[in-house]
């Protein structure tokens, strides 16, 4: 049997703990050798919880360790681009959470460092690994829907994040809708040429005071002629609302929400069921395992990862175009954003 791929996880907050748990307990062929967090207590707790032998507050100890093959970057967004460049220079393969950065120049520097070092880079667009969306993508690739004409993505959170998070997140388009821009490119297999945005503050005025919106529709014109819409809300009172529809010349594919059970209760006044799985950690749990399994396999088998640096860059560019469209009240070509 081949030796396991030895990984270091940088950042052990919400998503870093989840990835560490999966790599340590659920993914064969992977071993988490060390975790780091600027808050040492967070790294130590994560290490203790998931049986990781080493915890540190200094990520450079992971990068200097010749026994570590790859790093998983799960720290705050503003650290990603710098850490990618450092990890690449240290010769480590890299899995990095989205977004790479909130500025294209920083993304380009990080991607240049990866190219120069010749290491692998996979971006954490986990929804591509969700069984529903994979099936829709497969139907499109197989031609079962015919030539796609329309794409509709609905993506609504159960509740807004804290205002402190909203202020540093990059805003709805770069923090939340970025997943939907990636899904749009993934499903349609063509680049977005132009966007037009309508957006408002309908959920919480504090989000508006922080300079962001909480409700938005973005219309997308793809280079291959497909027309798409994405709608986001920061608050759906019935839970996490995540659906996709692709309408084509030969038919249509649509996904529904995922539920904790399939029980339907019929009564004299209504037929009811429980609410959908509440948020991303529940709804997309399998996709997080699948994306890291694929990353580990790519490193082990020396294959290129399926979600590339360009896949990380393009949705940021589309998100910036969407924001500019809102600000200028006009359609914006994605190529305007450089
Ligand atoms: N793919 C997804 O569905 C998904 C979901 C959640 C978060 N994310 C992304 O993951 C990243 C982290 O999000 P989170 O919700 O886990 O945030 P979080 O605030 O819970 O955790 C971030 C952690 O990084 C640590 N940190 C900051 N700078 C560091 C550094 N230089 N070295 C080591 N540790 C450092 C912080 O102390 C904190 O513990 C964000 O970029 C976010 O966009 C992606």
* 190 CB near ligand 1 (under 6 Å): no
In whole angstroms, what is the distance from residue 23 CA to residue 315 CA?
A: 27
pLDDT in tens, 179-234: 999 999 999 999 999 999 999 999 999 999 999 999 999 999 999 999 999 999 99
Q: How far is CA 202 from CA 27, 208, 274, 279, in A?
A: 42, 9, 26, 20
Weakly modelled stretches of the chain, pLDDT under 70: none
List strand residue ranges (DSSP E) for the chain, in order. Answer: 5-10, 30-36, 55-56, 70-73, 93-96, 121-123, 148-156, 192-200, 215-222, 227-233, 241-248, 251-254, 264-266, 271-273, 332-333
In whole angstroms, what is the distance from residue 128 CA to residue 108 CA?
A: 23
* 38 CB near ligand 1 (under 6 Å): yes
**8 Å CB contact between 292 and 19:** yes
* 151 CB near ligand 1 (under 6 Å): no
Q: Can you tell me which residue has the tokens 């989205």?
A: 98
pLDDT in tens, 300-312: 999 999 999 999 9
Pocket test for ligand 1, best of 15, 60, 174 (most atoms within 8 A of CB): 15
* 96 CB near ligand 1 (under 6 Å): no
């Amino acid at each position: 049997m081949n030796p396991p791929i030895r990984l270091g996880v940088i950042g052990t907050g919400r998503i870093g703990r989840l990835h560490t748990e999966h790599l340590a307990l659920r993914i064969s062929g992977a071993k988490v050798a060390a975790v780091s967090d600027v808050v040492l207590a967070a790294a130590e707790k994560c290490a203790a919880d998931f049986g990781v032998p080493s915890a540190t507050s200094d990520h450079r100890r992971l990068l200097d360790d010749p026994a570590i093959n790859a790093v998983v970057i799960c720290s705050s967004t503003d650290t990603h681009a710098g850490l990618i460049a450092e990890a690449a220079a240290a010769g480590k393969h890299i899995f990095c959470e989205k977004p790479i950065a909130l500025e294209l120049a920083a993304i380009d520097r990080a991607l240049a460092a990866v190219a120069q070092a010749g290491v692998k880079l996979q971006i954490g667009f986990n929804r591509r690994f969700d069984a529903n969306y994979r099936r829709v993508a497969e139907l499109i690739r197989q031609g079962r829907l015919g030539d796609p004409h329309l794409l509709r993505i609905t993506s609504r959170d159960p509740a807004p994040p804290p205002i402190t998070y909203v202020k540093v997140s990059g805003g709805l388009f770069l923090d939340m809708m970025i997943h939907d821009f990636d899904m749009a490119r993934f499903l349609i297999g063509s680049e977005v040429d132009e966007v037009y945005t309508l957006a408002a503050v309908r959920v919480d005025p504090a989000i508006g005071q922080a300079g962001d919106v909480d409700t938005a529709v973005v219309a997308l014109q793809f280079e291959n002629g497909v027309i798409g819409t994405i709608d986001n809300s920061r608050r759906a009172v019935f839970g996490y609302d995540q659906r996709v529809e692709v309408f084509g010349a030969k038919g249509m594919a649509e996904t529904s929400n995922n539920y904790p059970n399939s029980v339907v209760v019929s009564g004299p006044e209504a037929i009811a069921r429980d609410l959908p799985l509440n948020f991303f950690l529940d709804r997309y749990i399998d996709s997080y395992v699948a994306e890291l399994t694929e990353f580990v396999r790519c490193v082990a088998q020396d294959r290129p990862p399926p979600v590339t640096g360009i896949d990380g860059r393009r949705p940021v560019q589309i998100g910036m175009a969407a924001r500019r469209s809102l600000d200028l009240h006009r359609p914006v070509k994605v190529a305007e954003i450089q």
